[in-house]
Amino acid sequence: MSSDFFPDVEQIPYEGPDSDNPLAFRWYDADRLVGGKTMAEQLRFAVSYWHSFASDGSDIFGAGTLDRPWLESIDPTTNSAIDPMEAAKEKMSVAFEFVSKLGAPFYCFHDRDIAPEGATFAESCRNFDELVELAADHQERTGVELLWGTANLFSHPRFQAGAATNPDPDLFKYAAAQVAHCMNATKQLGGANYVLWGGREGYETLLNTDMGQELDQLGRFFSMVVEHKHAIGFEGAILIEPKPFEPTKHQYDFDVSAVHAFLQKYDLADEVKVNIEVNHATLASHDFQHEIAAAFAAGIFGSIDTNAGDDRLGWDVDRFPVSVEQMTPGVVELLRGGGFTTGGMNFDAKLRRQSTDRNDLFYAHIGGMDTMARALLAADAILSEGELDRRRDDRYAGWQSEQRILDGRVTLQELHDAQLTSGDEPKRVSGSQEELENLVARYIERIK
Ligand code: XLS
Ligand code: NI
Ligand code: NI
Protein backbone atom coordinates (compact mmCIF):
# COMPACT_ATOMS: atom_id res chain seq x y z
CA MET A 1 0.00 0.00 0.00
CA SER A 2 1.81 3.09 -1.25
CA SER A 3 -0.21 5.48 0.94
CA ASP A 4 1.17 3.82 4.07
CA PHE A 5 3.20 6.01 6.41
CA PHE A 6 5.37 2.99 7.26
CA PRO A 7 5.85 1.50 3.79
CA ASP A 8 8.72 -0.88 4.76
CA VAL A 9 6.64 -2.71 7.33
CA GLU A 10 3.79 -5.12 6.74
CA GLN A 11 3.08 -6.99 9.97
CA ILE A 12 5.67 -7.51 12.70
CA PRO A 13 6.11 -11.30 12.87
CA TYR A 14 7.27 -13.47 15.75
CA GLU A 15 10.52 -15.15 14.65
CA GLY A 16 11.98 -16.45 17.93
CA PRO A 17 15.14 -15.67 19.92
CA ASP A 18 17.55 -16.64 17.13
CA SER A 19 16.19 -14.09 14.69
CA ASP A 20 18.36 -11.12 13.71
CA ASN A 21 15.50 -9.35 11.95
CA PRO A 22 15.14 -5.97 13.71
CA LEU A 23 11.51 -5.80 12.59
CA ALA A 24 10.49 -9.08 14.25
CA PHE A 25 9.63 -10.15 17.78
CA ARG A 26 12.08 -12.52 19.39
CA TRP A 27 10.09 -13.14 22.58
CA TYR A 28 6.58 -11.72 22.23
CA ASP A 29 4.64 -14.60 20.72
CA ALA A 30 1.01 -13.44 21.07
CA ASP A 31 -0.56 -16.94 21.07
CA ARG A 32 1.98 -18.67 23.30
CA LEU A 33 0.45 -19.99 26.50
CA VAL A 34 2.04 -18.71 29.70
CA GLY A 35 0.42 -19.44 33.05
CA GLY A 36 -2.86 -20.60 31.50
CA LYS A 37 -3.38 -17.57 29.23
CA THR A 38 -1.88 -16.42 25.95
CA MET A 39 0.90 -13.84 26.10
CA ALA A 40 -1.49 -11.39 24.45
CA GLU A 41 -4.02 -11.93 27.25
CA GLN A 42 -1.41 -11.75 30.01
CA LEU A 43 0.28 -8.58 28.78
CA ARG A 44 -2.58 -6.66 27.07
CA PHE A 45 -0.20 -4.18 25.37
CA ALA A 46 -1.35 -0.71 24.42
CA VAL A 47 0.29 2.06 22.38
CA SER A 48 -0.03 5.59 23.76
CA TYR A 49 -1.35 8.08 21.23
CA TRP A 50 0.30 11.11 22.84
CA HIS A 51 3.94 10.00 22.78
CA SER A 52 3.78 8.12 19.50
CA PHE A 53 1.65 10.38 17.32
CA ALA A 54 0.88 13.67 19.07
CA SER A 55 4.45 14.69 20.06
CA ASP A 56 7.16 15.90 17.77
CA GLY A 57 10.26 15.37 19.92
CA SER A 58 10.47 18.97 21.13
CA ASP A 59 11.87 19.61 24.59
CA ILE A 60 12.33 22.75 26.70
CA PHE A 61 15.57 23.55 24.85
CA GLY A 62 14.63 22.86 21.28
CA ALA A 63 12.10 22.35 18.52
CA GLY A 64 10.54 19.13 17.30
CA THR A 65 12.77 16.72 15.39
CA LEU A 66 10.43 13.84 14.53
CA ASP A 67 8.84 13.22 11.16
CA ARG A 68 5.19 13.87 12.06
CA PRO A 69 3.78 15.90 9.12
CA TRP A 70 0.29 16.15 10.70
CA LEU A 71 1.75 18.24 13.53
CA GLU A 72 2.96 20.97 11.16
CA SER A 73 0.85 24.08 10.62
CA ILE A 74 2.10 24.81 7.08
CA ASP A 75 2.26 22.30 4.23
CA PRO A 76 5.85 22.66 2.88
CA THR A 77 4.92 21.58 -0.66
CA THR A 78 1.98 23.98 -1.19
CA ASN A 79 2.98 26.56 1.44
CA SER A 80 -0.64 26.69 2.58
CA ALA A 81 -2.05 26.29 6.07
CA ILE A 82 -2.87 22.73 7.14
CA ASP A 83 -6.45 22.27 8.35
CA PRO A 84 -6.14 20.92 11.91
CA MET A 85 -9.12 18.59 11.49
CA GLU A 86 -7.65 17.09 8.31
CA ALA A 87 -4.33 16.71 10.11
CA ALA A 88 -6.06 14.95 13.02
CA LYS A 89 -7.66 12.49 10.58
CA GLU A 90 -4.31 11.77 8.97
CA LYS A 91 -2.73 11.30 12.40
CA MET A 92 -5.45 8.79 13.25
CA SER A 93 -4.95 6.77 10.06
CA VAL A 94 -1.24 6.54 10.83
CA ALA A 95 -1.93 5.60 14.45
CA PHE A 96 -4.15 2.68 13.46
CA GLU A 97 -1.74 1.64 10.70
CA PHE A 98 1.05 1.52 13.30
CA VAL A 99 -0.85 -0.25 16.07
CA SER A 100 -2.23 -2.92 13.76
CA LYS A 101 1.10 -3.55 12.00
CA LEU A 102 2.74 -3.84 15.42
CA GLY A 103 0.08 -6.30 16.54
CA ALA A 104 -0.68 -4.55 19.84
CA PRO A 105 -4.29 -5.22 20.83
CA PHE A 106 -4.96 -1.79 22.41
CA TYR A 107 -4.33 1.95 22.27
CA CYS A 108 -4.85 4.80 24.80
CA PHE A 109 -5.58 8.50 24.24
CA HIS A 110 -6.20 11.91 25.79
CA ASP A 111 -9.15 13.72 24.22
CA ARG A 112 -6.82 16.47 22.93
CA ASP A 113 -4.42 13.96 21.35
CA ILE A 114 -6.99 12.82 18.84
CA ALA A 115 -8.75 16.11 18.01
CA PRO A 116 -7.72 19.78 18.13
CA GLU A 117 -9.06 22.14 20.78
CA GLY A 118 -11.70 24.50 19.31
CA ALA A 119 -12.36 28.18 19.99
CA THR A 120 -15.11 27.25 22.47
CA PHE A 121 -15.85 24.21 24.63
CA ALA A 122 -18.70 23.30 22.29
CA GLU A 123 -16.40 23.43 19.27
CA SER A 124 -13.81 21.28 21.06
CA CYS A 125 -16.58 18.75 21.72
CA ARG A 126 -17.67 18.77 18.06
CA ASN A 127 -14.09 18.26 16.87
CA PHE A 128 -13.60 15.44 19.33
CA ASP A 129 -16.90 13.74 18.47
CA GLU A 130 -16.01 13.71 14.78
CA LEU A 131 -12.70 11.98 15.46
CA VAL A 132 -14.33 9.58 17.94
CA GLU A 133 -16.71 8.48 15.15
CA LEU A 134 -13.71 7.90 12.94
CA ALA A 135 -11.89 6.00 15.70
CA ALA A 136 -14.90 3.68 16.00
CA ASP A 137 -14.57 2.90 12.27
CA HIS A 138 -10.83 2.30 12.56
CA GLN A 139 -11.36 0.03 15.57
CA GLU A 140 -13.98 -1.94 13.67
CA ARG A 141 -11.74 -2.25 10.58
CA THR A 142 -8.52 -3.22 12.41
CA GLY A 143 -9.76 -5.00 15.54
CA VAL A 144 -7.62 -2.68 17.70
CA GLU A 145 -9.43 -1.82 20.96
CA LEU A 146 -9.33 1.04 23.44
CA LEU A 147 -7.60 0.21 26.76
CA TRP A 148 -8.44 3.60 28.22
CA GLY A 149 -9.34 7.17 27.48
CA THR A 150 -8.48 10.22 29.55
CA ALA A 151 -9.03 13.97 29.43
CA ASN A 152 -6.10 16.34 29.09
CA LEU A 153 -6.66 18.77 31.99
CA PHE A 154 -3.11 20.16 32.09
CA SER A 155 -1.79 21.44 28.71
CA HIS A 156 -4.06 24.41 28.08
CA PRO A 157 -3.13 27.63 29.96
CA ARG A 158 -6.58 27.69 31.59
CA PHE A 159 -5.39 24.81 33.81
CA GLN A 160 -2.33 26.65 35.14
CA ALA A 161 -3.60 26.28 38.73
CA GLY A 162 -5.00 22.78 38.25
CA ALA A 163 -8.41 21.45 37.25
CA ALA A 164 -10.46 19.90 40.08
CA THR A 165 -8.17 21.50 42.70
CA ASN A 166 -8.24 24.95 41.10
CA PRO A 167 -9.07 27.82 43.49
CA ASP A 168 -11.55 29.06 40.86
CA PRO A 169 -14.74 26.96 40.72
CA ASP A 170 -15.16 27.86 37.05
CA LEU A 171 -12.16 25.66 36.27
CA PHE A 172 -13.65 22.81 38.30
CA LYS A 173 -16.81 23.15 36.23
CA TYR A 174 -14.89 23.28 32.96
CA ALA A 175 -12.87 20.18 33.90
CA ALA A 176 -16.02 18.33 35.00
CA ALA A 177 -17.63 19.05 31.64
CA GLN A 178 -14.56 17.87 29.75
CA VAL A 179 -14.31 14.65 31.78
CA ALA A 180 -18.02 13.88 31.32
CA HIS A 181 -17.62 14.30 27.57
CA CYS A 182 -14.48 12.14 27.44
CA MET A 183 -16.07 9.42 29.60
CA ASN A 184 -19.06 9.29 27.24
CA ALA A 185 -16.68 8.88 24.27
CA THR A 186 -14.67 6.21 26.11
CA LYS A 187 -17.89 4.29 26.69
CA GLN A 188 -18.92 4.74 23.06
CA LEU A 189 -15.56 3.26 21.94
CA GLY A 190 -15.87 0.28 24.29
CA GLY A 191 -12.94 1.44 26.45
CA ALA A 192 -11.92 -1.05 29.13
CA ASN A 193 -11.00 1.72 31.64
CA TYR A 194 -11.13 5.45 32.19
CA VAL A 195 -7.98 7.07 33.63
CA LEU A 196 -7.48 10.22 35.71
CA TRP A 197 -3.90 11.39 36.03
CA GLY A 198 -3.71 14.50 38.22
CA GLY A 199 -1.82 16.66 35.72
CA ARG A 200 -1.64 19.86 37.78
CA GLU A 201 -3.59 18.67 40.84
CA GLY A 202 -1.02 19.68 43.41
CA TYR A 203 0.74 22.87 44.42
CA GLU A 204 3.76 25.03 43.65
CA THR A 205 3.80 26.78 47.04
CA LEU A 206 1.82 26.39 50.25
CA LEU A 207 1.93 30.17 50.70
CA ASN A 208 -1.09 30.45 48.42
CA THR A 209 -2.60 26.96 48.83
CA ASP A 210 -5.40 25.70 51.08
CA MET A 211 -4.60 22.00 50.98
CA GLY A 212 -7.69 20.83 52.89
CA GLN A 213 -9.97 22.76 50.55
CA GLU A 214 -8.20 21.42 47.46
CA LEU A 215 -8.37 17.80 48.67
CA ASP A 216 -12.11 18.16 49.34
CA GLN A 217 -12.57 19.51 45.82
CA LEU A 218 -10.63 16.56 44.40
CA GLY A 219 -12.66 14.10 46.48
CA ARG A 220 -15.92 15.55 45.23
CA PHE A 221 -14.63 15.53 41.65
CA PHE A 222 -13.81 11.81 41.78
CA SER A 223 -17.18 11.08 43.38
CA MET A 224 -18.88 12.88 40.50
CA VAL A 225 -16.84 10.78 38.05
CA VAL A 226 -18.03 7.59 39.77
CA GLU A 227 -21.62 8.81 39.82
CA HIS A 228 -21.38 9.60 36.11
CA LYS A 229 -19.92 6.16 35.38
CA HIS A 230 -23.03 4.59 36.90
CA ALA A 231 -25.38 7.12 35.30
CA ILE A 232 -24.16 6.29 31.80
CA GLY A 233 -23.66 2.57 32.44
CA PHE A 234 -19.92 2.59 31.70
CA GLU A 235 -18.66 -0.85 32.64
CA GLY A 236 -14.92 -0.17 32.60
CA ALA A 237 -12.84 0.61 35.67
CA ILE A 238 -12.07 4.14 36.89
CA LEU A 239 -8.34 4.45 37.51
CA ILE A 240 -6.21 7.11 39.21
CA GLU A 241 -2.57 7.33 38.09
CA PRO A 242 -0.26 8.25 41.00
CA LYS A 243 2.74 10.51 40.47
CA PRO A 244 4.70 12.31 43.22
CA PHE A 245 5.66 15.53 41.42
CA GLU A 246 6.09 17.05 37.94
CA PRO A 247 4.72 19.26 36.61
CA THR A 248 3.84 20.57 40.09
CA LYS A 249 6.21 20.53 43.07
CA HIS A 250 3.84 18.20 44.91
CA GLN A 251 1.07 16.11 43.33
CA TYR A 252 -1.75 15.01 45.64
CA ASP A 253 -1.89 11.51 44.06
CA PHE A 254 1.69 10.96 45.28
CA ASP A 255 1.85 7.15 45.25
CA VAL A 256 -0.42 4.12 45.60
CA SER A 257 -0.62 4.38 49.39
CA ALA A 258 -1.47 8.09 49.32
CA VAL A 259 -4.17 7.41 46.72
CA HIS A 260 -5.54 4.54 48.80
CA ALA A 261 -5.79 6.71 51.93
CA PHE A 262 -7.49 9.41 49.84
CA LEU A 263 -9.99 6.93 48.37
CA GLN A 264 -10.83 5.63 51.83
CA LYS A 265 -11.36 9.13 53.20
CA TYR A 266 -13.79 10.00 50.40
CA ASP A 267 -15.44 6.56 50.46
CA LEU A 268 -14.29 5.64 46.96
CA ALA A 269 -12.05 2.62 47.65
CA ASP A 270 -14.55 0.15 46.18
CA GLU A 271 -15.05 2.20 43.03
CA VAL A 272 -11.64 3.44 41.96
CA LYS A 273 -8.39 1.59 41.27
CA VAL A 274 -4.88 2.67 40.26
CA ASN A 275 -2.90 2.87 37.05
CA ILE A 276 0.74 2.37 38.10
CA GLU A 277 3.53 3.87 36.02
CA VAL A 278 7.01 2.40 36.40
CA ASN A 279 8.92 5.67 36.40
CA HIS A 280 6.37 7.41 38.63
CA ALA A 281 7.07 4.64 41.16
CA THR A 282 10.80 5.35 41.08
CA LEU A 283 10.22 9.11 41.33
CA ALA A 284 8.26 8.39 44.53
CA SER A 285 11.36 6.53 45.84
CA HIS A 286 9.72 3.15 45.34
CA ASP A 287 10.35 0.25 43.02
CA PHE A 288 7.84 -0.72 40.36
CA GLN A 289 7.17 -3.97 42.25
CA HIS A 290 6.50 -2.05 45.46
CA GLU A 291 3.67 -0.09 43.87
CA ILE A 292 2.10 -3.21 42.35
CA ALA A 293 2.33 -5.10 45.66
CA ALA A 294 0.88 -2.07 47.52
CA ALA A 295 -2.03 -1.90 45.07
CA PHE A 296 -2.89 -5.59 45.38
CA ALA A 297 -2.56 -5.42 49.19
CA ALA A 298 -5.05 -2.54 49.19
CA GLY A 299 -7.35 -4.25 46.67
CA ILE A 300 -7.04 -1.40 44.16
CA PHE A 301 -4.75 -2.74 41.43
CA GLY A 302 -5.94 -1.71 37.96
CA SER A 303 -3.45 -1.21 35.14
CA ILE A 304 0.18 -0.38 34.27
CA ASP A 305 1.92 2.38 32.32
CA THR A 306 5.11 0.63 31.40
CA ASN A 307 8.26 2.67 30.82
CA ALA A 308 11.64 3.27 32.44
CA GLY A 309 13.43 6.16 34.07
CA ASP A 310 17.13 6.88 33.96
CA ASP A 311 19.33 6.30 36.98
CA ARG A 312 20.82 9.76 36.77
CA LEU A 313 17.74 11.76 35.78
CA GLY A 314 15.19 12.59 38.43
CA TRP A 315 12.24 13.29 36.18
CA ASP A 316 9.71 11.45 34.06
CA VAL A 317 11.91 10.59 31.05
CA ASP A 318 9.48 7.97 29.70
CA ARG A 319 12.02 5.65 28.09
CA PHE A 320 10.92 2.36 26.64
CA PRO A 321 11.63 -0.53 29.03
CA VAL A 322 14.75 -2.52 28.05
CA SER A 323 15.79 -4.25 31.27
CA VAL A 324 14.38 -7.71 31.97
CA GLU A 325 16.12 -7.64 35.36
CA GLN A 326 14.24 -4.47 36.30
CA MET A 327 10.85 -5.62 35.03
CA THR A 328 10.75 -9.23 36.26
CA PRO A 329 10.09 -8.50 39.99
CA GLY A 330 7.17 -6.25 38.97
CA VAL A 331 5.68 -8.98 36.80
CA VAL A 332 6.14 -11.46 39.68
CA GLU A 333 3.92 -9.17 41.81
CA LEU A 334 1.45 -8.79 38.95
CA LEU A 335 1.06 -12.56 38.56
CA ARG A 336 1.00 -13.16 42.32
CA GLY A 337 -1.91 -10.76 42.48
CA GLY A 338 -3.77 -12.63 39.72
CA GLY A 339 -2.79 -10.54 36.68
CA PHE A 340 -4.90 -8.07 34.74
CA THR A 341 -8.69 -7.96 34.59
CA THR A 342 -9.66 -4.73 32.79
CA GLY A 343 -6.12 -3.31 32.83
CA GLY A 344 -3.15 -3.79 30.54
CA MET A 345 0.37 -2.55 29.80
CA ASN A 346 0.35 0.83 28.13
CA PHE A 347 3.66 2.04 26.73
CA ASP A 348 3.71 5.50 28.28
CA ALA A 349 7.11 5.85 26.60
CA LYS A 350 8.57 8.04 23.92
CA LEU A 351 11.37 7.98 21.38
CA ARG A 352 14.54 9.90 22.17
CA ARG A 353 14.74 13.17 20.28
CA GLN A 354 17.36 11.88 17.83
CA SER A 355 15.37 8.79 16.85
CA THR A 356 14.11 10.41 13.70
CA ASP A 357 13.58 7.49 11.30
CA ARG A 358 9.99 6.36 10.92
CA ASN A 359 10.84 2.78 11.80
CA ASP A 360 12.37 3.86 15.13
CA LEU A 361 8.83 3.78 16.52
CA PHE A 362 8.65 0.07 15.64
CA TYR A 363 12.07 -0.73 17.10
CA ALA A 364 11.09 1.00 20.35
CA HIS A 365 7.86 -0.92 20.77
CA ILE A 366 9.34 -4.26 19.64
CA GLY A 367 12.11 -3.90 22.24
CA GLY A 368 9.61 -2.94 24.93
CA MET A 369 7.25 -5.81 24.12
CA ASP A 370 10.09 -8.35 23.99
CA THR A 371 11.42 -7.08 27.34
CA MET A 372 8.02 -7.44 29.00
CA ALA A 373 7.47 -10.84 27.36
CA ARG A 374 10.79 -12.10 28.77
CA ALA A 375 9.89 -10.69 32.19
CA LEU A 376 6.57 -12.56 31.95
CA LEU A 377 8.32 -15.83 31.08
CA ALA A 378 10.78 -15.43 33.94
CA ALA A 379 8.07 -14.46 36.43
CA ASP A 380 5.86 -17.36 35.38
CA ALA A 381 8.77 -19.81 35.71
CA ILE A 382 9.63 -18.46 39.18
CA LEU A 383 6.05 -18.74 40.41
CA SER A 384 5.20 -22.09 38.84
CA GLU A 385 8.33 -23.74 40.17
CA GLY A 386 7.20 -22.36 43.51
CA GLU A 387 10.43 -22.07 45.50
CA LEU A 388 10.09 -18.32 46.04
CA ASP A 389 6.54 -18.56 47.38
CA ARG A 390 7.38 -21.65 49.47
CA ARG A 391 10.16 -19.69 51.11
CA ARG A 392 7.89 -16.71 51.63
CA ASP A 393 5.13 -18.87 53.14
CA ASP A 394 7.64 -20.54 55.47
CA ARG A 395 8.56 -17.17 56.96
CA TYR A 396 4.96 -16.70 58.10
CA ALA A 397 4.22 -20.33 59.04
CA GLY A 398 4.21 -19.51 62.76
CA TRP A 399 1.08 -17.43 62.36
CA GLN A 400 -1.02 -20.49 61.53
CA SER A 401 -1.27 -21.32 65.22
CA GLU A 402 -1.56 -17.69 66.36
CA GLN A 403 -4.58 -16.58 64.36
CA ARG A 404 -6.38 -15.62 67.60
CA ILE A 405 -3.99 -12.66 67.97
CA LEU A 406 -4.97 -11.27 64.58
CA ASP A 407 -8.64 -11.99 65.28
CA GLY A 408 -8.46 -9.68 68.28
CA ARG A 409 -9.01 -12.34 70.94
CA VAL A 410 -5.80 -11.52 72.84
CA THR A 411 -4.90 -8.30 74.70
CA LEU A 412 -1.60 -6.54 75.05
CA GLN A 413 -1.63 -7.28 78.81
CA GLU A 414 -2.18 -11.01 78.16
CA LEU A 415 0.82 -11.08 75.83
CA HIS A 416 2.85 -9.30 78.50
CA ASP A 417 1.85 -11.77 81.21
CA ALA A 418 2.50 -14.79 79.00
CA GLN A 419 5.94 -13.46 78.07
CA LEU A 420 6.81 -13.04 81.75
CA THR A 421 6.12 -16.67 82.51
CA SER A 422 7.37 -18.35 79.32
CA GLY A 423 10.24 -15.90 78.92
CA ASP A 424 11.70 -17.48 75.77
CA GLU A 425 13.88 -15.43 73.46
CA PRO A 426 12.34 -15.64 69.94
CA LYS A 427 14.50 -17.55 67.46
CA ARG A 428 16.10 -15.59 64.64
CA VAL A 429 16.04 -17.00 61.11
CA SER A 430 17.85 -15.82 57.99
CA GLY A 431 15.92 -13.69 55.50
CA SER A 432 18.12 -15.24 52.76
CA GLN A 433 17.79 -12.20 50.53
CA GLU A 434 20.95 -12.85 48.50
CA GLU A 435 20.04 -16.47 47.93
CA LEU A 436 16.60 -15.43 46.69
CA GLU A 437 18.16 -12.80 44.42
CA ASN A 438 20.35 -15.52 42.94
CA LEU A 439 17.29 -17.69 42.44
CA VAL A 440 15.55 -14.93 40.46
CA ALA A 441 18.74 -14.37 38.40
CA ARG A 442 18.82 -18.08 37.55
CA TYR A 443 15.28 -17.98 36.18
CA ILE A 444 16.05 -14.91 34.10
CA GLU A 445 19.15 -16.63 32.66
CA ARG A 446 17.17 -19.72 31.72
CA ILE A 447 14.23 -18.13 29.90
CA LYS A 448 13.40 -20.16 26.81
C1 XLS B 1 2.34 11.80 32.88
C2 XLS B 1 1.39 10.70 32.83
C3 XLS B 1 0.39 10.77 31.69
C4 XLS B 1 -0.78 9.86 31.95
C5 XLS B 1 -1.98 10.16 31.13
O6 XLS B 1 3.38 11.73 33.53
O7 XLS B 1 2.10 9.50 32.81
O8 XLS B 1 1.01 10.46 30.48
O9 XLS B 1 -0.43 8.53 31.77
O10 XLS B 1 -2.48 11.43 31.36
NI1 NI C 1 1.26 7.60 32.48
NI1 NI D 1 4.29 9.71 33.32
For residue 76, what pLDDT is reported?
86
User: What string of pLDDT tens digits covers the 448 residues of the chain?
Assistant: 348 999 999 999 999 999 999 999 999 999 999 999 999 999 999 999 999 999 999 999 999 999 999 999 998 889 999 999 999 999 999 999 999 999 999 999 999 999 999 999 999 999 999 999 999 999 999 999 999 999 999 999 999 999 999 999 999 999 999 999 999 999 999 999 999 999 999 999 999 999 999 999 999 999 999 999 999 999 999 999 999 999 999 999 999 999 999 999 999 999 999 999 999 999 999 999 999 999 999 999 999 999 999 888 888 899 999 999 999 999 999 999 999 999 999 999 999 999 999 999 999 999 999 999 999 999 999 999 999 999 999 999 999 999 999 999 999 999 999 999 987 899 999 999 999 999 999 999 999 9
User: What's this model's pTM, rounded to 2 decimal places?
Assistant: 0.97
Q: Which atom of ligand 1 is nearest to the CA of 110?
A: 10
> Please, what is the angle between helix 324-336 and helix 288-298, to 10°?
10
CA distance 364 to 45: 13
Chain mean position to CA 82: 33
Please pick, among 110, 181, 228, 286, the residue that the annotation labels catalytic: 110
Question: Distance, CA 210 to ligand 2 centroid (Å)?
Answer: 27
SS3 434: helix
Ligand 1 contacts CB of residue 316 (under 6 A): yes
Residue 2: per-residue pLDDT: 46
- The pLDDT of residue 324 is 97
Whole-number Å distance, alpha carbon 267 to ligand 3 midpoint, is 26
Q: Which of 184, 159, 183, 186 is nearest to 172 (CA)?
A: 159
CA of 445 to the centre of ligand 2 (A): 30
Task: Count H helices and E strands in the chain, helices first.
Answer: 16, 12
Q: What is the DSSP letter of 412?
A: H
250 CA distance to ligand 3 centroid (A)? 14
pLDDT given at position 171: 98
Enumerate residues with CB within 5 Å of ligand 3 (an ion): 277, 316
Give 111 Cα–ligand 1 centroid separation in angstroms. Answer: 13
Q: Which DSSP state fits 25? A: B
Tell me which residue has its CA closest to atom 5 in ligand 1: 197
Return the pLDDT at 136: 98
On whether the CB atoms of residues 248 and 284 are closer than 8 A, the answer is no
What is the rounded CA–CA span in Å between residue 448 and residue 437?
20
Whether 111 lines ligand 1, by a CB cut-off of 6 Å, is no
Among 52, 156, 277, which residue has the most ligand 1 atoms within 8 Å of its CB, making it the best to mutate? 277
Indicate whether residue 253 lines ligand 1 (CB < 6 A): no
> How far apart are alpha carbons 181 and 165 in whole angstroms?
19
> With a 6 A CB cut-off, is 318 part of the ligand 1 pocket?
no
The H or E element spanning position 168 is none
Does the active-site annotation cover 59? no
Nearest to 32 by CA among 264, 300, 267, 370: 370
- Residue 175, pLDDT score: 98
From the candidates 29, 111, 113, 380, which is the catalytic residue? Answer: 113
**Which residues are bridge partners to 25 per DSSP?**
14
Domain residue ranges of the chain, discontinuous segments joined by +:
33-385, 391-445
Ligand 1 atom nearest the C-alpha of 51 is 8
Distance 418 CA to ligand 1 centre (A): 53
DSSP output for 146-160: EEEEE---SSSGGGT
Pocket test for ligand 1, best of 155, 201, 282, 305 (most atoms within 8 A of CB): 305
Measure 150 CA to ligand 1 centroid, in angstroms: 9
For 386, residues 6+ apart whose C-beta sits below 8 A from its C-beta are: none
- The one-character DSSP state at 110 is E
Between CA 98 and CA 359 the distance in angstroms is 10
Q: Which fold has domain 33-385?
A: TIM Barrel (3.20.20)
Q: Is the CB of 241 under 6 A from ligand 1?
A: yes
DSSP one-letter code for 211: H
Counting from 1 in the atom list of ligand 1, the atom nearest the Cα of 246 is 6
Burial of 313 (0-12, 13-18, 19+ CB in 10 A): exposed
Q: Which residue, judged by its Cα, is nearest atom 3 of ligand 1?
A: 197
> What are the residues whose beta carbons fall under 8 Å from the beta carbon of 13, sequence distance 6 or more?
21, 24, 25
The predicted structure's pLDDT at residue 423: 76
- Smallest CA separation from ligand 1 atom 2, residue: 197
Question: Rounded distance, CA 108 to CA 110, Å?
Answer: 7
Instruction: Evaluate: CB of 201 within 6 angstroms of ligand 1.
Output: no
CA 396 to ligand 3 centroid distance, Å:
36
How many Å apart are CA 146 and CA 190, to the nearest integer?
Answer: 7
Task: Give residue 314's pLDDT.
Answer: 86
Buried b or exposed e, range 148-187, using 16+ CB within 10 angstroms: bbbbbbbeeeebebbbbbbeeeebbebbbebbbbbbbbbb
CA distance 370 to 27: 5
Identify the pLDDT of residue 1. 39
Query: DSSP 3-state assignment of 302?
Result: strand
Q: To the nearest 10°, report the CA torsion of 319, 353, 155, 117.
A: -120
Candidate of 113, 238, 241, 291 to mutate for ligand 1, largest count of ligand atoms within 8 Å of Cβ:
241
Q: What is the 3-state secondary structure (H, E, C) of 230-249?
A: HHHCCCCEEEEECCCCCCCC
Separation CA 136–CA 109 (nearest Å): 13
| β-bridge partners, 303 | 275
> Atom 4, ligand 1: which residue's CA is nearest?
197
- Residue pair 84/91 in contact by the 8 Å Cβ criterion: no
Whether the CB-CB separation of 387 and 393 falls below 8 Å is answered with no
**Which three-class secondary structure state does DSSP give residue 270?**
coil
**Preceding peptide of 105 cis, ω within 30°:** no
